[in-house]
Chains A and B, each alone.
Chain A
Amino acid sequence: MIEIRDIKKSYQMGEVTVEALRGIDLNIGSGEYVAILGPSGSGKSTLMQILGCLDTPTAGTYQLSGREVSGLKRNELAEIRNKQVGFIFQSFNLLAHASALENVALPLIYRGTSGRQRLQEAARLLERVGLADRMDHKPNELSGGQRQRVAVARALAGDPDLILADEPTGNLDTHSGDEIVALFEELVSEGKSVIVVTHDLEIAQRAHRVVRIRDGVVEEDTRQAA
């Protein structure tokens, strides 16, 4: 599903060039459940942004489902984000003025799905993450765990094959975090690829594979029994 070769990313900060990624190779298959670990500043988020087509690498190649995406234009990347990738953020990133239902339906707007279908699909996804009774609530009327579940439902809108989560439980208590991880396990069992950046070793333990990153390179890549 994902094949990256020698991916590099550097940021120019005035005189200084910060090398966030210095050559990463990684193959991730369909239905894999991967945890990415690493100290702060090691380049985890940078990698996730490239994997999620939010950003492009400075060098290297990236094939997503057999298609080379490293040289695509803005709008082509947007289309991939829209159809093939679901992204979950540490800080939820929900629209404050919109209800849970509208938040989940948002990606579908940019797919051109009709209004009724959008709301039907969004409602189905909210039911699936256990928020059937919170559809009309605004984000500030929901708990942190509930907000992140709305974000998971939004990531699932349009049925993408790849789910990326950058420290999804970072702002949650243990119980809420467990609920999110349980959802991920369900998604994996359905055949989706899930990649999670985390600092929580317990969460990493439950993944099929752990990739450790340090200073912009892969330090260790281990598979573990499910």
Chain B
Amino acid sequence: MFFLQLTRQFFQDMRARKLRTFLAMFGIGWGTVAVVLLLAIGGGFHAASKKAMHGMGEHLVVIWLSRTTKAYEGMQPGRQITMKSSDVVEMGRALPEIGLYSPEPRRSGLSAQYDNHRVKVSVSGVTPGYGIMRNMIPEPGGRFFNDRDVKARRRVAFIGNKVKSKLFDEGDPIGQIILLDGRPFTVIGTLQEKTQTSDYGGRDAGKVVVPYTTYTAMWGDQNVRNIVVRPNPVNDSEPMKKAIYTYLSQKYRFDPTDEGALSIWDTVEMDRFTDWFFWGLQALLGLGGALTLCAGGIGVANVMFLIVRERTREIGLRMAVGARDWHILLQVMLEAGLIVALGGLGGLSFSFLVIWAIQAAPTPEWLGQPQFSPLVSLITISVLAFVGLISGIFPARRAARLDPVKALEF
């Protein structure tokens, strides 16, 4: 009931001083829009960048086998380290630090043929885990190959979307037989189109992958140039890299401190850096927005000081008839809170509209779509609550500390 009275007081003030209250609310609304939009656009940018980076793969470490650069146990530097697909699989099974693994023997410039369509492709022999690591998501209706395909050395192929469109146009390739290097393979899946900003040895759209067992049977158990692994747990690649170094240096007898022997591309580390970078960017953007909101809060505090001044006599009267200090405090704080709440609500609604409009309009892919996440709203509402509290407390304290006699004579 008391609150109802206070709320009514607010609307009376608002009617009496429309422009002033409106400006105060507008300041809050503007700040809210700044916080929400900056955070939402930053979040969308982050998601878009991450997605593009993950076009090549997620939690991925690529290792190239290279030449030793240090002499070791009487052997000269410059010795090429060589592994076969089966060695890679053996290592993957032996080290618990490795979550997923795949060899990647590759032949490029092979011809792929369907009917009278023909295209040059690169063919790699990989494990089912490769599809997961490299984000090779099949179009609906198709699939990546599995352990049984590997075990049975099935002649199945997963083809890139560019390969698919060159060979099949709009037709359905699933279950069709294509010739790779003149040998028949059944297409079991095609790559869903993805944004890929980094690669090694070509974009996945132009590739064909087959089970490594099948590959070995067709093109021989050649030395692999690189292997692809995912650490376990996925977010920490350091222990895995150490374990691999130890394992390989023992097995192939090279100096475990020889950094030239293996050349490593660690996207896990890169990911972590990117996350930090965007986190910093978000914090900066959020801070910028929050400062705008604080400026709005100062506006509200000013208006509340004015209101308290104008209502000094009234406050004195309320005290004379028995209002305790906290009644007065609450009244002023609630009024400030209402201005902030209404301004914030307006700002949130407007931000919704803007985000909705941006999502409807075409935006560059690298910028992504602004995202109104629960976190963004949580942050915004917390900042609003904080600003409301702070902008109310000072005028409210001044009001609550008035001397009733002096206030009545004001």
Contacts and interface: CB of A to CB of B under 8 A. Distances in A.
Contact of A154 (B321, B324, B408): B321
Interface stretch (A31-39, A64-72, A80-88, A124-132): A80-88
Interface stretch (B154-162, B310-318, B365-373): B310-318
A66 B185 CA distance: 107
A115 B8 CA distance: 14
B91 interface: no
Nearest to B9: A97
A109 B323 CA distance: 8
Given A49-B405, A55-B405, A81 B325 contact: no
B319 A78 contact: yes
Contact of A87 (B9, B320, B323): B320
Nearest to A94: B317
B404 interface: yes
B324 A81 contact: no
A89 B408 contact: yes
A119 to B, nearest CB: 10
Given A78-B323, A79-B322, A79-B324, A109 B405 contact: no
B2 A109 contact: yes
A75 interface: yes
A75 B5 contact: no
Contact of A54 (B323, B327, B404): B404
Interface in A104-162: 106-107, 109-111, 114-115, 118, 154, 157
B325 A82 contact: no
B317 A78 contact: no
A110 B324 contact: yes
B1, B317, B322, B405: most-surrounded residue (chain A CB, <10 A): B322
Contacts of A118: 1
Interface string B39-57: 0000000000000000000
A223 interface: no
Nearest to A115: B1
A95 B323 CA distance: 14
Contact size range, A = 20 to 34
B321 A110 contact: yes
A221 B261 CA distance: 113
A55, A78, A79, A82: most-surrounded residue (chain B CB, <10 A): A78
B5, B320, B323: most-surrounded residue (chain A CB, <10 A): B320
A74 interface: yes
Contact of A74 (B5, B320, B325, B408): B325
Interface in A41-83: 49, 52, 54-55, 74-75, 78-79, 81-83
B327 A110 contact: yes
Interface string B379-410: 00000000000000000000000001100100
B313 A93 contact: yes
A95 B324 CA distance: 18
Interface of B: 1-2, 4-5, 9, 12, 16, 313-314, 317-325, 327, 404-405, 408
Given A75-B324, A78-B322, A110-B321, 12 more contacts: A54-B404, A74-B325, A75-B325, A78-B323, A78-B325, A79-B322, A81-B320, A82-B321, A89-B408, A93-B313, A114-B1, A115-B4
Interface of A: 49, 52, 54-55, 74-75, 78-79, 81-83, 87, 89, 93, 95, 97, 106-107, 109-111, 114-115, 118, 154, 157
